[in-house]
Chain A
Protein backbone atom coordinates (compact mmCIF):
# COMPACT_ATOMS: atom_id res chain seq x y z
CA UNK A 1 0.00 0.00 0.00
CA UNK A 2 1.35 3.41 -0.94
CA UNK A 3 0.27 6.84 0.26
CA UNK A 4 -2.56 7.10 -2.27
CA UNK A 5 -3.92 3.66 -1.33
CA UNK A 6 -3.95 4.71 2.32
CA UNK A 7 -5.61 8.03 1.55
CA UNK A 8 -8.30 6.26 -0.48
CA UNK A 9 -9.00 3.71 2.27
CA UNK A 10 -9.00 6.35 5.00
CA UNK A 11 -10.95 9.09 3.23
CA UNK A 12 -13.40 7.16 1.09
CA UNK A 13 -15.02 4.87 3.65
CA UNK A 14 -18.05 7.12 3.48
CA UNK A 15 -19.29 10.37 2.05
CA UNK A 16 -18.90 9.37 -1.59
CA UNK A 17 -20.55 12.19 -3.60
CA UNK A 18 -23.97 11.86 -5.22
CA UNK A 19 -23.31 14.08 -8.22
CA UNK A 20 -22.99 13.21 -11.90
CA UNK A 21 -19.21 12.82 -11.72
CA UNK A 22 -18.62 11.51 -8.17
CA UNK A 23 -15.20 10.01 -8.93
CA UNK A 24 -14.06 13.35 -10.33
CA UNK A 25 -15.13 15.11 -7.12
CA UNK A 26 -13.56 12.47 -4.89
CA UNK A 27 -10.37 12.48 -6.98
CA UNK A 28 -10.00 16.24 -6.63
CA UNK A 29 -10.08 15.91 -2.84
CA UNK A 30 -7.36 13.25 -3.04
CA UNK A 31 -5.24 15.18 -5.53
CA UNK A 32 -5.47 12.63 -8.35
CA UNK A 33 -7.24 12.47 -11.69
CA UNK A 34 -10.63 10.85 -12.15
CA UNK A 35 -9.08 8.06 -14.21
CA UNK A 36 -6.27 7.64 -11.71
CA UNK A 37 -8.81 7.09 -8.92
CA UNK A 38 -10.90 4.66 -10.97
CA UNK A 39 -7.82 2.62 -11.83
CA UNK A 40 -6.62 2.61 -8.26
CA UNK A 41 -10.00 1.49 -6.94
CA UNK A 42 -10.22 -1.43 -9.33
CA UNK A 43 -6.67 -2.37 -8.34
CA UNK A 44 -7.55 -2.23 -4.60
CA UNK A 45 -10.60 -4.42 -5.25
CA UNK A 46 -8.58 -6.87 -7.31
CA UNK A 47 -5.90 -7.13 -4.61
CA UNK A 48 -8.59 -7.71 -1.96
CA UNK A 49 -7.69 -4.61 0.08
CA UNK A 50 -11.30 -3.52 -0.47
CA UNK A 51 -14.11 -6.06 -0.46
CA UNK A 52 -16.53 -3.65 -2.15
CA UNK A 53 -16.92 -0.06 -3.28
CA UNK A 54 -20.46 1.20 -3.08
CA UNK A 55 -23.46 1.65 -0.79
CA UNK A 56 -23.40 -0.18 2.53
CA UNK A 57 -26.96 -1.17 3.38
CA UNK A 58 -28.57 -1.60 6.79
CA UNK A 59 -30.21 -4.98 6.19
CA UNK A 60 -32.64 -4.61 9.05
CA UNK A 61 -33.93 -1.21 7.93
CA UNK A 62 -34.51 -2.60 4.44
CA UNK A 63 -36.98 -5.04 5.95
CA UNK A 64 -36.61 -8.68 6.82
CA UNK A 65 -34.89 -10.11 9.83
CA UNK A 66 -31.25 -10.19 10.71
CA UNK A 67 -29.50 -12.04 13.49
CA UNK A 68 -26.13 -13.06 14.87
CA UNK A 69 -26.11 -16.77 15.64
CA UNK A 70 -23.68 -19.05 17.44
CA UNK A 71 -23.12 -22.78 17.68
CA UNK A 72 -20.93 -24.96 19.83
CA UNK A 73 -19.58 -27.68 17.55
CA UNK A 74 -17.15 -30.47 18.48
CA UNK A 75 -13.85 -30.15 16.59
CA UNK A 76 -14.23 -33.50 14.80
CA UNK A 77 -17.61 -32.40 13.39
CA UNK A 78 -16.70 -28.78 12.64
CA UNK A 79 -16.06 -28.96 8.90
CA UNK A 80 -19.24 -30.92 8.21
CA UNK A 81 -21.34 -28.42 10.15
CA UNK A 82 -19.59 -25.42 8.54
CA UNK A 83 -20.43 -26.79 5.08
CA UNK A 84 -24.09 -27.33 6.04
CA UNK A 85 -24.41 -23.83 7.56
CA UNK A 86 -22.61 -22.12 4.66
CA UNK A 87 -24.82 -23.86 2.11
CA UNK A 88 -27.71 -21.61 3.19
CA UNK A 89 -27.71 -18.48 1.01
CA UNK A 90 -29.22 -16.56 3.97
CA UNK A 91 -25.93 -17.03 5.85
CA UNK A 92 -23.94 -13.91 5.00
CA UNK A 93 -20.77 -14.47 6.94
CA UNK A 94 -19.47 -17.14 9.19
CA UNK A 95 -16.42 -17.00 11.45
CA UNK A 96 -14.63 -19.60 13.49
CA UNK A 97 -13.82 -18.20 16.95
CA UNK A 98 -11.76 -19.47 19.87
CA UNK A 99 -14.47 -20.29 22.38
CA UNK A 100 -16.85 -23.03 23.44
CA UNK A 101 -19.23 -21.28 21.02
CA UNK A 102 -16.84 -21.72 18.11
CA UNK A 103 -19.02 -20.92 15.08
CA UNK A 104 -20.57 -17.44 14.65
CA UNK A 105 -22.61 -16.45 11.63
CA UNK A 106 -25.05 -13.80 10.47
CA UNK A 107 -28.41 -14.75 8.99
CA UNK A 108 -30.46 -12.30 6.91
CA UNK A 109 -33.87 -13.66 5.91
CA UNK A 110 -37.55 -12.87 5.79
CA UNK A 111 -37.94 -15.36 8.69
CA UNK A 112 -34.68 -16.07 10.53
CA UNK A 113 -36.31 -18.81 12.64
CA UNK A 114 -37.10 -20.90 9.55
CA UNK A 115 -33.42 -20.90 8.53
CA UNK A 116 -32.26 -21.74 12.07
CA UNK A 117 -34.76 -24.62 12.32
CA UNK A 118 -33.34 -26.05 9.09
CA UNK A 119 -29.75 -25.68 10.33
CA UNK A 120 -30.60 -27.38 13.63
CA UNK A 121 -32.34 -30.22 11.81
CA UNK A 122 -29.50 -30.73 9.32
CA UNK A 123 -26.62 -30.48 11.78
CA UNK A 124 -28.16 -31.93 14.94
CA UNK A 125 -26.82 -29.04 17.06
CA UNK A 126 -28.75 -26.17 18.66
CA UNK A 127 -28.29 -22.61 17.37
CA UNK A 128 -28.12 -19.67 19.78
CA UNK A 129 -29.90 -16.69 18.22
CA UNK A 130 -28.75 -13.20 19.32
CA UNK A 131 -30.63 -10.51 17.38
CA UNK A 132 -29.46 -6.96 17.98
CA UNK A 133 -31.70 -5.02 20.35
CA UNK A 134 -29.88 -1.70 20.10
CA UNK A 135 -26.97 -0.31 18.15
CA UNK A 136 -24.56 2.13 19.75
CA UNK A 137 -22.16 2.75 16.91
CA UNK A 138 -22.14 2.09 13.20
CA UNK A 139 -18.71 3.40 12.34
CA UNK A 140 -16.60 0.53 11.08
CA UNK A 141 -13.92 2.85 9.84
CA UNK A 142 -10.59 1.11 9.87
CA UNK A 143 -7.42 3.15 9.56
CA UNK A 144 -5.04 1.89 6.89
Chain B
Protein backbone atom coordinates (compact mmCIF):
# COMPACT_ATOMS: atom_id res chain seq x y z
CA UNK B 1 0.00 0.00 0.00
CA UNK B 2 1.25 3.49 -0.83
CA UNK B 3 1.66 5.86 2.12
CA UNK B 4 -1.33 8.03 1.13
CA UNK B 5 -3.49 4.92 0.73
CA UNK B 6 -2.60 3.71 4.21
CA UNK B 7 -3.28 7.14 5.68
CA UNK B 8 -6.64 7.33 3.89
CA UNK B 9 -7.62 3.90 5.24
CA UNK B 10 -6.90 5.07 8.75
CA UNK B 11 -8.59 8.42 8.25
CA UNK B 12 -11.84 6.90 6.92
CA UNK B 13 -12.22 3.78 9.06
CA UNK B 14 -14.75 5.53 11.27
CA UNK B 15 -16.45 6.92 8.15
CA UNK B 16 -16.39 9.94 5.85
CA UNK B 17 -16.70 13.40 7.38
CA UNK B 18 -20.35 14.47 7.09
CA UNK B 19 -19.65 17.82 5.47
CA UNK B 20 -20.45 19.20 2.02
CA UNK B 21 -16.93 18.51 0.72
CA UNK B 22 -15.79 15.38 2.58
CA UNK B 23 -12.83 14.67 0.29
CA UNK B 24 -11.56 18.22 0.73
CA UNK B 25 -11.88 17.83 4.51
CA UNK B 26 -9.87 14.60 4.38
CA UNK B 27 -7.29 16.24 2.11
CA UNK B 28 -6.85 19.07 4.54
CA UNK B 29 -6.38 16.63 7.46
CA UNK B 30 -3.81 14.67 5.46
CA UNK B 31 -2.16 17.75 3.98
CA UNK B 32 -2.72 16.72 0.34
CA UNK B 33 -5.00 17.93 -2.50
CA UNK B 34 -8.67 17.04 -2.75
CA UNK B 35 -7.96 15.67 -6.25
CA UNK B 36 -5.34 13.29 -4.83
CA UNK B 37 -7.80 11.96 -2.27
CA UNK B 38 -10.45 11.40 -4.94
CA UNK B 39 -7.99 9.75 -7.34
CA UNK B 40 -6.68 7.44 -4.61
CA UNK B 41 -10.16 6.36 -3.56
CA UNK B 42 -11.06 5.77 -7.20
CA UNK B 43 -8.00 3.51 -7.68
CA UNK B 44 -8.78 1.53 -4.55
CA UNK B 45 -12.39 1.06 -5.67
CA UNK B 46 -11.25 -0.06 -9.12
CA UNK B 47 -8.99 -2.82 -7.78
CA UNK B 48 -11.41 -3.94 -5.08
CA UNK B 49 -9.47 -2.84 -2.01
CA UNK B 50 -12.53 -0.69 -1.37
CA UNK B 51 -15.63 -2.81 -1.91
CA UNK B 52 -17.93 0.19 -2.07
CA UNK B 53 -18.53 3.59 -0.53
CA UNK B 54 -21.76 4.32 1.25
CA UNK B 55 -24.06 3.42 4.11
CA UNK B 56 -23.31 0.37 6.25
CA UNK B 57 -26.59 -0.60 7.93
CA UNK B 58 -27.02 -2.34 11.25
CA UNK B 59 -28.95 -5.59 10.69
CA UNK B 60 -30.77 -5.44 13.98
CA UNK B 61 -31.84 -1.83 13.54
CA UNK B 62 -33.40 -2.72 10.17
CA UNK B 63 -35.44 -5.42 11.83
CA UNK B 64 -33.31 -8.40 10.78
CA UNK B 65 -33.47 -10.31 14.03
CA UNK B 66 -32.72 -13.77 12.63
CA UNK B 67 -29.13 -13.87 11.43
CA UNK B 68 -28.17 -17.32 10.24
CA UNK B 69 -24.81 -18.63 9.19
CA UNK B 70 -25.62 -21.63 7.02
CA UNK B 71 -22.84 -24.15 6.40
CA UNK B 72 -22.84 -26.91 3.80
CA UNK B 73 -20.74 -29.92 2.93
CA UNK B 74 -20.59 -30.13 -0.87
CA UNK B 75 -18.11 -31.97 -3.10
CA UNK B 76 -14.87 -30.06 -3.72
CA UNK B 77 -15.21 -30.53 -7.46
CA UNK B 78 -18.55 -28.69 -7.46
CA UNK B 79 -18.07 -26.12 -4.71
CA UNK B 80 -17.13 -23.17 -6.94
CA UNK B 81 -20.06 -23.64 -9.28
CA UNK B 82 -22.47 -24.18 -6.39
CA UNK B 83 -21.01 -21.24 -4.45
CA UNK B 84 -21.67 -18.93 -7.40
CA UNK B 85 -25.26 -20.21 -7.65
CA UNK B 86 -25.88 -19.69 -3.92
CA UNK B 87 -24.13 -16.31 -3.94
CA UNK B 88 -26.45 -15.20 -6.77
CA UNK B 89 -29.55 -15.69 -4.59
CA UNK B 90 -30.78 -12.17 -3.81
CA UNK B 91 -31.01 -12.69 -0.06
CA UNK B 92 -27.55 -14.21 0.48
CA UNK B 93 -25.32 -11.44 1.83
CA UNK B 94 -22.00 -13.31 2.04
CA UNK B 95 -20.95 -16.59 0.46
CA UNK B 96 -17.53 -18.15 0.98
CA UNK B 97 -15.59 -21.37 0.55
CA UNK B 98 -13.64 -22.30 3.68
CA UNK B 99 -11.54 -25.33 4.65
CA UNK B 100 -13.11 -28.33 6.37
CA UNK B 101 -11.70 -29.23 9.80
CA UNK B 102 -12.33 -32.94 10.16
CA UNK B 103 -13.60 -34.80 12.03
CA UNK B 104 -15.64 -32.11 13.83
CA UNK B 105 -16.31 -29.69 11.00
CA UNK B 106 -17.17 -31.15 7.57
CA UNK B 107 -18.54 -27.95 5.95
CA UNK B 108 -16.82 -26.15 3.08
CA UNK B 109 -19.47 -23.66 1.87
CA UNK B 110 -20.78 -20.80 4.02
CA UNK B 111 -23.76 -18.55 3.20
CA UNK B 112 -25.14 -15.80 5.43
CA UNK B 113 -28.89 -15.29 5.46
CA UNK B 114 -30.84 -12.60 7.33
CA UNK B 115 -34.55 -12.68 8.11
CA UNK B 116 -37.03 -10.59 10.07
CA UNK B 117 -37.62 -13.76 12.09
CA UNK B 118 -36.50 -17.39 12.02
CA UNK B 119 -39.50 -18.42 9.92
CA UNK B 120 -38.46 -16.04 7.16
CA UNK B 121 -34.84 -17.16 7.43
CA UNK B 122 -35.91 -20.82 7.28
CA UNK B 123 -37.78 -20.19 3.99
CA UNK B 124 -34.64 -18.65 2.51
CA UNK B 125 -32.54 -21.56 3.76
CA UNK B 126 -34.90 -23.99 2.00
CA UNK B 127 -34.22 -22.10 -1.23
CA UNK B 128 -30.49 -22.67 -0.76
CA UNK B 129 -31.23 -26.35 -0.13
CA UNK B 130 -33.12 -26.58 -3.40
CA UNK B 131 -30.25 -24.91 -5.30
CA UNK B 132 -27.72 -27.35 -3.84
CA UNK B 133 -29.99 -30.39 -4.18
CA UNK B 134 -28.25 -33.73 -3.81
CA UNK B 135 -24.82 -32.04 -3.78
CA UNK B 136 -25.41 -31.06 -0.13
CA UNK B 137 -24.28 -34.08 1.86
CA UNK B 138 -24.84 -32.33 5.19
CA UNK B 139 -25.65 -28.86 6.43
CA UNK B 140 -26.16 -26.93 9.62
CA UNK B 141 -27.64 -23.53 10.57
CA UNK B 142 -26.05 -21.37 13.28
CA UNK B 143 -28.24 -18.50 14.43
CA UNK B 144 -26.51 -15.66 16.24
CA UNK B 145 -27.90 -15.03 19.71
CA UNK B 146 -25.72 -12.15 20.86
CA UNK B 147 -23.18 -9.67 19.51
CA UNK B 148 -20.17 -9.99 21.83
CA UNK B 149 -18.06 -7.42 20.02
CA UNK B 150 -18.48 -5.25 16.94
CA UNK B 151 -15.79 -2.68 16.41
CA UNK B 152 -15.28 -3.04 12.69
CA UNK B 153 -11.91 -3.88 11.29
CA UNK B 154 -8.88 -1.98 12.43
CA UNK B 155 -6.66 -1.95 9.42
CA UNK B 156 -3.21 -0.54 8.75
Partner of B58, one of A51, A68, A106, A132: A51
A82: chain B residues within 8 A (beta carbon): 148-149
> Do A140 and B94 contact each other (CB < 8 Å), given the known contacts A8-B55, A97-B69, A104-B142?
yes
Partner of B97, one of A9, A34, A48, A134: A134
> Do A13 and B97 contact each other (CB < 8 Å), given the known contacts A53-B18, A82-B148, A142-B114?
no
Partner of A134, one of B38, B96, B104: B96
> Do A13 and B49 contact each other (CB < 8 Å), given the known contacts A91-B149, A101-B142?
no
> Do A55 and B12 contact each other (CB < 8 Å), given the known contacts A9-B62, A97-B144?
yes
Could you tell me if B146 and A56 are in contact, using CB atoms closer than 8 angstroms? no
Is B99 interfacial (CB-CB < 8 Å)? yes
> Do A14 and B52 contact each other (CB < 8 Å), given the known contacts A52-B152, A99-B140, A101-B142?
yes
- How many chain A residues touch B (Cβ–Cβ < 8 Å)? 75
- How many chain B residues touch A (Cβ–Cβ < 8 Å)? 74
Listed residue (A56, A91, A131) with the most chain B CB atoms within 10 angstroms of its CB: A56
Could you tell me if B56 and A104 are in contact, using CB atoms closer than 8 angstroms? no
Partner of B56, one of A38, A53, A106, A143: A53
A-facing residues in B104-156 (Cβ within 8 Å): 104-105, 110, 114, 140, 142-156
A134: chain B residues within 8 A (beta carbon): 79-80, 83, 96-97
Partner of B19, one of A38, A98, A130: A38
Minimal Cβ-Cβ distance residue in A for B89: A137
Is B103 interfacial (CB-CB < 8 Å)? no
Q: Chain A at the B interface: mostly helix, strand, loop or mixed?
A: mixed
Is A116 interfacial (CB-CB < 8 Å)? no
B153: chain A residues within 8 A (beta carbon): 57, 59, 92, 106, 108
B93: chain A residues within 8 A (beta carbon): 137, 139-142
Is A31 interfacial (CB-CB < 8 Å)? no
Could you tell me if A130 and B57 are in contact, using CB atoms closer than 8 angstroms? no
Partner of A92, one of B12, B16, B152: B152
Partner of A13, one of B50, B55, B83: B55
Interface positions of B (Cβ within 8 A of A): 1, 9, 12-16, 18-24, 34, 38, 41-42, 44-45, 47-59, 61-62, 64, 67, 69, 79-80, 83-84, 86-88, 92-99, 101, 104-105, 110, 114, 140, 142-156
* 6 pairs of A and B residues whose beta carbons are closest in the complex: A137-B87, A136-B87, A14-B52, A136-B83, A54-B15, A94-B148
